[in-house]
């Protein structure tokens, strides 16, 4: 048996985030529908469109490294998304619903930022500039989405929840 190396770890993590993005893509319309705030709903809808592009970029990365685009179940994202579902159920019609949805969405964003940052560092170490460029594009989108969610929370949603 050969020792696992950084390329193996990169591929495993790539499969993990590919699975996660597909699950996030399925969850965003439900979160948008549940949101009371138009601003929050629009943010979820915009990120749904972006996530589609992020999945396509991941598929390009799989092509670049000559591996099949295949996800690997990610317990972390399953847990975060389950928390979001729980919030939608427990806070339905409550003033704190949008604040809870925002918190769940930011947990997703922070997970994605962590994964994409790590993958970008590893792709850099592995010398794959084309992969680095694609990962950086997605990482920038994820950071921007997180900033947008923070602004929405600070501008109205948290105050309405209180």
Tally: H helices and E strands in the chain: 6, 0
Closest CA to 25 of 50, 2, 62, 57: 50
Count the alpha carbons within 13 Å of 150 in the hemisphere toward its beta carbon. 9
Query: What pLDDT shows up at residue 160?
Result: 72
Query: What pLDDT shows up at residue 156?
Result: 72
CATH number of 6-161: 1.20.1260.10
Query: What pLDDT shows up at residue 162?
Result: 67
91-100: long-range pairs with CB below 8 Å, 24+? 92/34, 95/160, 95/161, 96/161, 97/34, 97/35, 97/36, 97/161, 98/35, 98/36, 98/37, 98/40, 98/157, 98/160, 98/161, 99/153, 99/157, 99/158, 99/160, 99/161, 100/161
What are the sequence ranges of the domains in the chain? 6-161
Contact 42, 157 (CB under 8 A): no
Which token pair is 118? Answer: 């790590």
Residues of the chain with pLDDT under 70: 1, 161-162
pLDDT, one tens digit per residue, over 13-60 is: 999 999 999 999 999 999 999 999 899 999 999 999 999 999 999 999
User: What is the Rg, in whole angstroms, of the alpha carbon atoms belonging to the chain?
Assistant: 17
Residue 73's φ and ψ, nearest 5 degrees, are -45, 135
pTM as predicted? 0.92
């Amino acid at each position: 048996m050969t020792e696992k190396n950084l390329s193996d770890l990169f591929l495993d993590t790539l499969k993990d985030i590919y699975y996660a993005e597909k699950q996030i893509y399925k969850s965003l319309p439900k979160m948008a529908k549940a949101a009371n705030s138009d601003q929050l709903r629009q943010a979820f809808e915009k990120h749904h469109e972006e996530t589609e592009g992020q999945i396509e970029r991941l598929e390009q990365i799989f092509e670049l490294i000559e591996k099949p685009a295949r996800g690997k179940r990610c317990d972390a994202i399953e847990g975060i998304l389950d928390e979001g579902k729980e919030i939608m159920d427990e806070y339905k019609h409550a003033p704190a619903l949008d604040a809870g949805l925002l918190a769940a969405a930011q947990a997703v964003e922070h997970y994605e930022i962590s994964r994409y940052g790590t993958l970008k560092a590893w792709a850099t170490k592995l010398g794959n500039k084309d992969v680095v460029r694609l990962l950086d594009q997605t990482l920038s989108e994820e950071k921007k989405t997180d900033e947008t969610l923070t602004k929405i929370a600070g501008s109205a949603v948290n105050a309405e929840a209180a």
